A and B are shown apart, each in its own frame.
Chain A
Amino acid sequence: MRLPLLALLAKEPAHGYELKQALEQTFGSAYPSPNIGQIYVTLGRLEKDGLVRSVDVEQSNRPNKKVYFLTADGREALENWVDEPTEGPRVRDEFFMKLVLAPLTGIADRMALINRQRRHYLSLMRDLTELAERTDPGDRVALLLIEGATLHLQADLDWLERCQEDLVT
Protein backbone atom coordinates (compact mmCIF):
# COMPACT_ATOMS: atom_id res chain seq x y z
CA MET A 1 0.00 0.00 0.00
CA ARG A 2 3.03 2.28 0.26
CA LEU A 3 3.06 3.69 -3.25
CA PRO A 4 -0.69 4.27 -3.58
CA LEU A 5 -0.53 6.28 -0.34
CA LEU A 6 2.40 8.31 -1.68
CA ALA A 7 0.40 8.96 -4.86
CA LEU A 8 -2.56 10.24 -2.90
CA LEU A 9 -0.31 12.44 -0.76
CA ALA A 10 1.29 13.87 -3.89
CA LYS A 11 -2.11 15.31 -4.71
CA GLU A 12 -2.58 16.94 -1.30
CA PRO A 13 -1.58 16.46 2.33
CA ALA A 14 -4.05 14.34 4.26
CA HIS A 15 -4.56 12.48 7.49
CA GLY A 16 -4.99 8.73 7.75
CA TYR A 17 -8.75 8.62 7.64
CA GLU A 18 -8.90 10.89 4.59
CA LEU A 19 -6.53 8.53 2.79
CA LYS A 20 -8.77 5.59 3.59
CA GLN A 21 -11.74 7.46 2.15
CA ALA A 22 -9.82 8.53 -0.96
CA LEU A 23 -8.81 4.91 -1.66
CA GLU A 24 -12.41 3.79 -1.29
CA GLN A 25 -13.68 6.51 -3.56
CA THR A 26 -11.12 5.87 -6.27
CA PHE A 27 -11.35 2.09 -6.44
CA GLY A 28 -14.93 1.56 -5.35
CA SER A 29 -15.72 -2.08 -4.86
CA ALA A 30 -12.55 -3.06 -6.69
CA TYR A 31 -10.35 -2.57 -3.68
CA PRO A 32 -10.49 -4.42 -0.39
CA SER A 33 -11.69 -1.70 1.93
CA PRO A 34 -8.38 -0.69 3.54
CA ASN A 35 -7.99 -1.21 7.23
CA ILE A 36 -7.30 2.08 9.00
CA GLY A 37 -4.75 0.47 11.29
CA GLN A 38 -2.85 -0.81 8.28
CA ILE A 39 -2.84 2.71 6.83
CA TYR A 40 -1.36 4.17 10.02
CA VAL A 41 1.28 1.46 10.20
CA THR A 42 2.26 2.13 6.59
CA LEU A 43 2.35 5.90 7.15
CA GLY A 44 4.60 5.32 10.18
CA ARG A 45 7.02 3.29 8.09
CA LEU A 46 6.99 5.83 5.26
CA GLU A 47 7.79 8.54 7.79
CA LYS A 48 10.64 6.49 9.23
CA ASP A 49 12.03 6.06 5.71
CA GLY A 50 11.83 9.81 5.15
CA LEU A 51 9.30 9.60 2.34
CA VAL A 52 6.58 11.50 4.21
CA ARG A 53 6.51 13.88 7.16
CA SER A 54 3.70 14.79 9.45
CA VAL A 55 2.53 17.80 11.41
CA ASP A 56 0.11 17.85 14.31
CA VAL A 57 -2.94 19.92 13.64
CA GLU A 58 -4.98 21.08 16.61
CA GLN A 59 -8.69 20.42 16.56
CA SER A 60 -11.25 21.92 18.92
CA ASN A 61 -12.80 19.38 21.29
CA ARG A 62 -10.78 16.54 19.77
CA PRO A 63 -7.29 15.15 20.00
CA ASN A 64 -4.77 16.55 17.55
CA LYS A 65 -4.68 14.91 14.17
CA LYS A 66 -1.57 14.13 12.20
CA VAL A 67 -1.53 15.49 8.68
CA TYR A 68 0.96 13.82 6.38
CA PHE A 69 2.72 15.31 3.39
CA LEU A 70 5.16 14.07 0.80
CA THR A 71 8.90 14.82 1.08
CA ALA A 72 11.23 15.31 -1.90
CA ASP A 73 12.45 11.74 -1.39
CA GLY A 74 8.84 10.58 -1.37
CA ARG A 75 8.18 12.30 -4.66
CA GLU A 76 11.25 10.67 -6.17
CA ALA A 77 10.15 7.22 -4.97
CA LEU A 78 6.74 7.85 -6.49
CA GLU A 79 8.22 8.97 -9.82
CA ASN A 80 10.46 5.90 -9.95
CA TRP A 81 7.45 3.70 -9.28
CA VAL A 82 5.45 5.28 -12.08
CA ASP A 83 8.37 5.18 -14.53
CA GLU A 84 9.24 1.51 -14.03
CA PRO A 85 7.59 -1.20 -16.07
CA THR A 86 5.44 -3.33 -13.78
CA GLU A 87 6.04 -7.03 -13.27
CA GLY A 88 3.15 -9.09 -14.64
CA PRO A 89 1.79 -12.05 -12.73
CA ARG A 90 3.72 -15.26 -13.27
CA VAL A 91 2.46 -18.69 -14.02
CA ARG A 92 1.05 -20.29 -10.91
CA ASP A 93 3.87 -22.66 -10.51
CA GLU A 94 2.73 -24.14 -7.23
CA PHE A 95 0.00 -26.06 -8.99
CA PHE A 96 2.46 -27.01 -11.70
CA MET A 97 4.81 -28.41 -9.06
CA LYS A 98 1.98 -30.55 -7.72
CA LEU A 99 1.01 -31.64 -11.19
CA VAL A 100 4.50 -32.73 -12.14
CA LEU A 101 5.65 -34.15 -8.82
CA ALA A 102 2.60 -35.69 -7.16
CA PRO A 103 2.13 -38.55 -9.64
CA LEU A 104 5.77 -39.56 -9.17
CA THR A 105 5.01 -40.32 -5.56
CA GLY A 106 1.71 -42.06 -6.24
CA ILE A 107 -0.19 -39.56 -4.08
CA ALA A 108 -2.56 -38.47 -6.82
CA ASP A 109 -3.02 -38.88 -10.53
CA ARG A 110 -2.79 -35.96 -12.89
CA MET A 111 -6.30 -36.09 -14.26
CA ALA A 112 -7.71 -35.85 -10.74
CA LEU A 113 -5.44 -32.89 -9.96
CA ILE A 114 -6.39 -31.11 -13.16
CA ASN A 115 -10.10 -31.74 -12.59
CA ARG A 116 -9.94 -30.38 -9.06
CA GLN A 117 -8.02 -27.32 -10.19
CA ARG A 118 -10.46 -26.69 -13.05
CA ARG A 119 -13.41 -26.83 -10.68
CA HIS A 120 -11.65 -24.38 -8.40
CA TYR A 121 -10.98 -21.92 -11.24
CA LEU A 122 -14.55 -22.24 -12.46
CA SER A 123 -15.97 -21.47 -9.06
CA LEU A 124 -13.69 -18.42 -8.83
CA MET A 125 -14.96 -17.43 -12.26
CA ARG A 126 -18.50 -17.77 -11.04
CA ASP A 127 -17.74 -15.44 -8.12
CA LEU A 128 -16.25 -12.90 -10.51
CA THR A 129 -19.21 -13.15 -12.90
CA GLU A 130 -21.66 -12.61 -10.08
CA LEU A 131 -19.62 -9.77 -8.72
CA ALA A 132 -19.54 -8.08 -12.13
CA GLU A 133 -23.31 -8.40 -12.33
CA ARG A 134 -23.73 -6.81 -8.91
CA THR A 135 -21.29 -3.98 -9.58
CA ASP A 136 -22.69 -0.60 -10.57
CA PRO A 137 -22.09 -0.24 -14.34
CA GLY A 138 -20.81 3.28 -13.65
CA ASP A 139 -18.01 1.91 -11.48
CA ARG A 140 -15.60 1.48 -14.35
CA VAL A 141 -12.46 1.07 -12.27
CA ALA A 142 -14.00 -1.87 -10.40
CA LEU A 143 -15.34 -3.44 -13.60
CA LEU A 144 -11.99 -3.18 -15.34
CA LEU A 145 -10.28 -4.82 -12.42
CA ILE A 146 -12.81 -7.66 -12.43
CA GLU A 147 -12.36 -8.08 -16.16
CA GLY A 148 -8.61 -8.27 -15.70
CA ALA A 149 -9.01 -10.99 -13.09
CA THR A 150 -11.41 -12.81 -15.42
CA LEU A 151 -8.93 -12.77 -18.29
CA HIS A 152 -6.14 -14.10 -16.08
CA LEU A 153 -8.39 -16.89 -14.90
CA GLN A 154 -9.30 -17.75 -18.48
CA ALA A 155 -5.59 -17.98 -19.28
CA ASP A 156 -5.09 -20.29 -16.29
CA LEU A 157 -7.88 -22.53 -17.56
CA ASP A 158 -6.48 -22.59 -21.09
CA TRP A 159 -3.11 -23.52 -19.69
CA LEU A 160 -4.71 -26.28 -17.63
CA GLU A 161 -6.14 -27.63 -20.86
CA ARG A 162 -2.66 -27.63 -22.40
CA CYS A 163 -1.32 -29.48 -19.36
CA GLN A 164 -4.12 -32.01 -19.80
CA GLU A 165 -3.28 -32.51 -23.47
CA ASP A 166 0.43 -32.95 -22.91
CA LEU A 167 0.77 -34.60 -19.52
CA VAL A 168 -2.25 -36.89 -19.25
CA THR A 169 -1.99 -39.85 -21.53
Chain B
Amino acid sequence: MTVLRTLNLVRIYQNGGVPVPAVRGVDFTVAAGEFVAIMGPSGSGKSTLVHMLGGLDVRTSGEIWLDGKRVDTLSESAWAVLRRRKIGFVFQFYNLVTNMTVADNVELPALLAGMSPREARERREYLLGELGLTERAYAAPAELSGGEQQRVALARALANGPQLLLADEPTGNLDSRNTRDVLKLLGEVHGQGQTIVVVTHDAKVASKADRVVTLADGMIVDDASMRRRRFTPGTAGDVVELRG
Protein backbone atom coordinates (compact mmCIF):
# COMPACT_ATOMS: atom_id res chain seq x y z
CA MET B 1 0.00 0.00 0.00
CA THR B 2 1.26 3.46 -0.87
CA VAL B 3 1.21 6.04 1.89
CA LEU B 4 2.84 8.88 0.03
CA ARG B 5 3.34 9.74 -3.60
CA THR B 6 4.58 12.81 -5.42
CA LEU B 7 4.30 13.52 -9.11
CA ASN B 8 6.72 15.88 -10.78
CA LEU B 9 6.92 17.97 -7.66
CA VAL B 10 8.53 21.39 -8.12
CA ARG B 11 9.33 24.24 -5.76
CA ILE B 12 10.80 27.46 -7.08
CA TYR B 13 11.54 30.23 -4.59
CA GLN B 14 11.74 33.84 -5.64
CA ASN B 15 14.82 35.52 -4.29
CA GLY B 16 14.53 39.22 -4.99
CA GLY B 17 12.97 38.49 -8.37
CA VAL B 18 15.49 35.74 -9.16
CA PRO B 19 13.92 32.27 -9.35
CA VAL B 20 15.68 29.69 -7.15
CA PRO B 21 14.59 26.18 -8.15
CA ALA B 22 14.95 24.19 -4.92
CA VAL B 23 13.05 21.06 -5.97
CA ARG B 24 12.95 20.28 -9.68
CA GLY B 25 10.57 17.49 -10.58
CA VAL B 26 10.57 14.84 -7.89
CA ASP B 27 8.64 11.59 -8.37
CA PHE B 28 8.72 9.73 -5.12
CA THR B 29 6.65 6.94 -3.61
CA VAL B 30 6.68 5.60 -0.07
CA ALA B 31 4.97 2.33 0.85
CA ALA B 32 3.25 1.74 4.19
CA GLY B 33 5.75 0.68 6.82
CA GLU B 34 8.73 1.76 4.77
CA PHE B 35 11.68 3.63 6.31
CA VAL B 36 13.22 5.98 3.73
CA ALA B 37 16.28 8.16 4.25
CA ILE B 38 16.86 11.23 2.10
CA MET B 39 20.48 12.30 1.72
CA GLY B 40 22.28 14.85 -0.39
CA PRO B 41 24.54 17.88 -0.17
CA SER B 42 23.57 21.03 1.68
CA GLY B 43 21.17 23.07 -0.44
CA SER B 44 20.06 20.10 -2.55
CA GLY B 45 16.42 20.61 -1.57
CA LYS B 46 15.92 18.05 1.19
CA SER B 47 14.22 20.34 3.69
CA THR B 48 12.14 21.95 0.96
CA LEU B 49 10.93 18.53 -0.13
CA VAL B 50 9.90 17.28 3.31
CA HIS B 51 8.32 20.61 4.19
CA MET B 52 6.09 20.25 1.14
CA LEU B 53 5.30 16.65 2.10
CA GLY B 54 4.17 17.90 5.50
CA GLY B 55 2.18 20.82 4.10
CA LEU B 56 4.55 23.36 5.63
CA ASP B 57 5.60 24.79 2.29
CA VAL B 58 3.58 25.24 -0.89
CA ARG B 59 4.55 23.48 -4.10
CA THR B 60 5.02 25.49 -7.26
CA SER B 61 3.72 22.67 -9.43
CA GLY B 62 3.17 18.93 -9.32
CA GLU B 63 1.07 16.74 -7.06
CA ILE B 64 1.27 15.22 -3.58
CA TRP B 65 -0.89 12.26 -2.62
CA LEU B 66 -1.20 11.13 0.96
CA ASP B 67 -3.02 7.94 1.85
CA GLY B 68 -4.83 7.91 -1.51
CA LYS B 69 -5.95 11.54 -1.37
CA ARG B 70 -4.57 14.49 -3.23
CA VAL B 71 -3.30 16.96 -0.64
CA ASP B 72 -1.24 19.61 -2.45
CA THR B 73 -4.48 21.46 -3.18
CA LEU B 74 -5.59 21.54 0.47
CA SER B 75 -6.07 24.78 2.39
CA GLU B 76 -3.80 25.62 5.28
CA SER B 77 -6.46 24.69 7.82
CA ALA B 78 -7.12 21.36 6.13
CA TRP B 79 -3.39 20.68 6.30
CA ALA B 80 -3.42 21.52 10.00
CA VAL B 81 -6.07 18.87 10.57
CA LEU B 82 -4.12 16.36 8.53
CA ARG B 83 -0.94 17.01 10.49
CA ARG B 84 -2.78 16.61 13.76
CA ARG B 85 -4.14 13.21 12.75
CA LYS B 86 -1.73 11.65 10.33
CA ILE B 87 1.67 13.29 10.22
CA GLY B 88 4.41 13.71 12.77
CA PHE B 89 7.01 16.31 11.88
CA VAL B 90 10.48 16.84 13.34
CA PHE B 91 11.98 20.13 12.19
CA GLN B 92 15.64 20.71 11.52
CA PHE B 93 15.42 23.44 14.17
CA TYR B 94 12.98 21.75 16.58
CA ASN B 95 10.22 24.43 16.95
CA LEU B 96 9.10 23.51 20.47
CA VAL B 97 6.45 25.59 22.23
CA THR B 98 8.57 27.72 24.53
CA ASN B 99 6.08 28.45 27.30
CA MET B 100 5.08 24.84 27.85
CA THR B 101 6.96 22.11 29.70
CA VAL B 102 8.62 19.29 27.82
CA ALA B 103 5.86 16.93 29.00
CA ASP B 104 3.12 19.23 27.71
CA ASN B 105 4.91 19.72 24.40
CA VAL B 106 4.82 15.97 23.89
CA GLU B 107 1.32 15.34 25.24
CA LEU B 108 -0.36 18.14 23.32
CA PRO B 109 -0.36 16.49 19.88
CA ALA B 110 -1.62 13.25 21.40
CA LEU B 111 -4.51 15.11 23.04
CA LEU B 112 -5.23 17.03 19.84
CA ALA B 113 -5.39 13.74 17.96
CA GLY B 114 -8.07 12.55 20.39
CA MET B 115 -6.20 10.42 22.94
CA SER B 116 -7.46 10.46 26.52
CA PRO B 117 -5.30 12.39 29.02
CA ARG B 118 -4.20 9.11 30.52
CA GLU B 119 -3.21 7.61 27.16
CA ALA B 120 -1.39 10.80 26.25
CA ARG B 121 0.53 10.73 29.52
CA GLU B 122 1.49 7.09 29.11
CA ARG B 123 2.62 7.67 25.54
CA ARG B 124 4.67 10.68 26.67
CA GLU B 125 6.28 8.69 29.50
CA TYR B 126 7.18 5.90 27.10
CA LEU B 127 8.67 8.20 24.46
CA LEU B 128 10.64 10.40 26.86
CA GLY B 129 11.87 7.26 28.63
CA GLU B 130 13.17 5.76 25.40
CA LEU B 131 15.01 8.97 24.62
CA GLY B 132 16.56 9.31 28.07
CA LEU B 133 14.55 12.43 28.92
CA THR B 134 12.36 11.27 31.80
CA GLU B 135 14.15 13.59 34.19
CA ARG B 136 13.64 16.62 31.95
CA ALA B 137 9.87 16.21 31.63
CA TYR B 138 8.99 19.29 33.68
CA ALA B 139 11.68 21.57 32.30
CA ALA B 140 10.97 24.34 29.81
CA PRO B 141 12.45 23.91 26.33
CA ALA B 142 14.77 26.88 26.88
CA GLU B 143 16.39 25.01 29.77
CA LEU B 144 17.39 22.13 27.49
CA SER B 145 20.47 21.66 25.36
CA GLY B 146 20.04 21.62 21.58
CA GLY B 147 20.35 17.85 21.55
CA GLU B 148 17.72 17.46 24.25
CA GLN B 149 15.33 19.78 22.43
CA GLN B 150 15.80 17.74 19.30
CA ARG B 151 14.88 14.54 21.10
CA VAL B 152 11.81 16.21 22.61
CA ALA B 153 10.82 17.24 19.09
CA LEU B 154 11.03 13.60 18.02
CA ALA B 155 8.95 12.47 20.99
CA ARG B 156 6.37 15.14 20.14
CA ALA B 157 6.23 14.05 16.52
CA LEU B 158 5.55 10.45 17.53
CA ALA B 159 3.08 11.30 20.28
CA ASN B 160 -0.07 10.92 18.18
CA GLY B 161 1.08 7.66 16.58
CA PRO B 162 1.18 9.32 13.16
CA GLN B 163 0.67 7.41 9.96
CA LEU B 164 3.73 9.14 8.53
CA LEU B 165 6.75 10.44 10.42
CA LEU B 166 8.68 13.17 8.60
CA ALA B 167 11.96 14.15 10.23
CA ASP B 168 14.51 16.70 9.08
CA GLU B 169 17.97 15.90 10.52
CA PRO B 170 16.69 14.35 13.76
CA THR B 171 20.23 13.60 14.93
CA GLY B 172 21.89 16.74 13.59
CA ASN B 173 22.88 18.03 17.03
CA LEU B 174 23.32 14.80 18.91
CA ASP B 175 26.42 13.12 20.22
CA SER B 176 26.89 9.43 19.55
CA ARG B 177 25.09 8.19 22.64
CA ASN B 178 22.00 10.34 22.03
CA THR B 179 22.07 9.38 18.37
CA ARG B 180 21.98 5.78 19.48
CA ASP B 181 18.84 6.43 21.58
CA VAL B 182 17.14 8.14 18.65
CA LEU B 183 18.11 5.30 16.31
CA LYS B 184 16.85 2.74 18.76
CA LEU B 185 13.50 4.48 19.01
CA LEU B 186 13.21 4.89 15.23
CA GLY B 187 14.05 1.20 14.80
CA GLU B 188 11.48 0.29 17.42
CA VAL B 189 8.58 2.28 15.97
CA HIS B 190 9.59 1.16 12.47
CA GLY B 191 9.34 -2.41 13.76
CA GLN B 192 5.83 -1.57 14.95
CA GLY B 193 4.92 -0.56 11.39
CA GLN B 194 5.66 3.17 11.50
CA THR B 195 6.27 4.71 8.08
CA ILE B 196 9.29 7.02 8.26
CA VAL B 197 10.84 9.56 5.90
CA VAL B 198 13.96 11.09 7.37
CA VAL B 199 16.35 13.66 5.95
CA THR B 200 19.83 12.98 7.23
CA HIS B 201 23.53 13.52 6.75
CA ASP B 202 24.22 10.83 9.30
CA ALA B 203 25.09 7.53 7.67
CA LYS B 204 24.19 5.66 10.86
CA VAL B 205 20.63 6.89 10.47
CA ALA B 206 20.60 6.12 6.76
CA SER B 207 21.95 2.64 7.39
CA LYS B 208 18.81 1.89 9.41
CA ALA B 209 16.55 2.73 6.48
CA ASP B 210 15.05 0.32 3.97
CA ARG B 211 15.78 2.78 1.19
CA VAL B 212 18.16 5.67 0.65
CA VAL B 213 17.15 8.40 -1.79
CA THR B 214 19.86 10.86 -2.81
CA LEU B 215 19.05 14.38 -3.96
CA ALA B 216 21.34 16.68 -5.92
CA ASP B 217 20.28 20.08 -7.19
CA GLY B 218 16.64 19.43 -6.41
CA MET B 219 16.43 16.11 -8.24
CA ILE B 220 16.62 12.46 -7.24
CA VAL B 221 19.92 11.08 -8.49
CA ASP B 222 19.83 7.73 -6.71
CA ASP B 223 17.18 5.57 -5.10
CA ALA B 224 18.75 2.55 -3.47
CA SER B 225 16.90 -0.13 -1.61
CA MET B 226 19.08 -1.41 1.19
CA ARG B 227 18.34 -5.10 1.12
CA ARG B 228 19.37 -6.99 4.19
CA ARG B 229 22.43 -8.98 3.36
CA ARG B 230 22.42 -12.69 3.92
CA PHE B 231 25.94 -12.60 5.19
CA THR B 232 26.16 -11.46 8.79
CA PRO B 233 29.65 -10.85 10.05
CA GLY B 234 30.60 -12.73 13.17
CA THR B 235 32.73 -10.25 15.01
CA ALA B 236 33.91 -6.71 14.63
CA GLY B 237 37.12 -8.17 13.38
CA ASP B 238 35.36 -9.21 10.20
CA VAL B 239 34.27 -5.65 9.53
CA VAL B 240 36.94 -3.63 11.20
CA GLU B 241 40.55 -4.08 10.30
CA LEU B 242 43.13 -3.45 12.96
CA ARG B 243 46.62 -2.76 11.76
CA GLY B 244 49.87 -3.59 13.44
Contacts and interface: CB of A to CB of B under 8 A. Distances in A.
Interface residues on B, range: 20 to 34
Contact of B240 (A121, A146, A162, A168): A146
B133 interface: no
Interface stretch (A9-17, A28-36, A48-56): A28-36
Given A31-B242, A115-B224, A119-B224, A142 B206 contact: no
Interface string B194-206: 0000000111101
Interface stretch (B78-86, B135-143, B155-163, B231-239): B231-239
A124 B238 CA distance: 11
Given A122-B206, A125-B206, A135 B236 contact: yes
A115 B207 contact: no
A61 to B, nearest CB: 34
B214 A115 contact: yes
Interface in B10-64: 39-41
A131 interface: yes
Interface residues of A, number: 42
| Main DSSP-derived SS at the A contact region | helix
B236 A30 contact: yes
A30 B237 contact: yes
A127 B233 contact: yes
Interface of B: 39-41, 176, 183, 201-204, 206-208, 212, 214, 216, 221-222, 224, 226, 229, 232-242, 244
The 8 closest A-B pairs by CB, nearest first: A32-B237, A125-B207, A29-B235, A126-B207, A115-B222, A30-B236, A149-B240, A125-B203
